[in-house]
């Protein structure tokens, strides 16, 4: 379960970085909104998968709600996936 959560967390974090640092500049500098539509939708789906994976990891690995909330907040910031990885490694 932990390895699945870590993989989902990494992919979701990577999609967030692609959205922010590749798709958004293409939209606003290159005046092409298409990449944001594709990457944005992909990231949205991955974020939902991340939230579900976090819920299951919290239940199966007996993480408390504070730790789960902390990981969720980290997922909202750029490069937060690396913080999540660090915290999960420290915890287990």
Residue 22: which region, alpha, beta or left (left: phi > 0; alpha: psi -120 to 50)?
Answer: alpha
Between 57 and 2, whose confidence is greater? 57
Return the pLDDT at 1: 72
- Asked if residue 75 lies in contact with residue 47, where contact means CB atoms within 8 angstroms, the answer is yes
- Asked if residue 73 lies in contact with residue 2, where contact means CB atoms within 8 angstroms, the answer is no
Extract the tokens encoding 8. 């989902």
Q: pLDDT averaged over the chain? A: 95
Q: Is the pTM of this model over 0.85?
A: yes
* Confidence label for 36 from pLDDT (cuts 50, 70 and 90): very high
Distance CA 30, CA 24 (A): 9
Domain parsing of the chain, residue ranges:
2-91
Return the pLDDT at 91: 87
């Amino acid at each position: 379960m932990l390895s699945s959560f870590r993989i989902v967390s990494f992919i979701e974090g990577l999609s967030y970085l692609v959205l922010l640092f590749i798709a958004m500049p293409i939209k606003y500098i290159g005046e092409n909104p298409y990449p944001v539509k594709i990457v944005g939708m992909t990231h949205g789906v991955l974020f939902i998968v991340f939230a579900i994976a976090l819920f299951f990891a919290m239940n199966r690995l007996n993480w408390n709600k504070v730790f789960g909330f902390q990981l969720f907040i980290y997922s909202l910031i750029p490069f937060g996936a690396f913080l999540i990885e660090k915290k999960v490694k420290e915890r287990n």
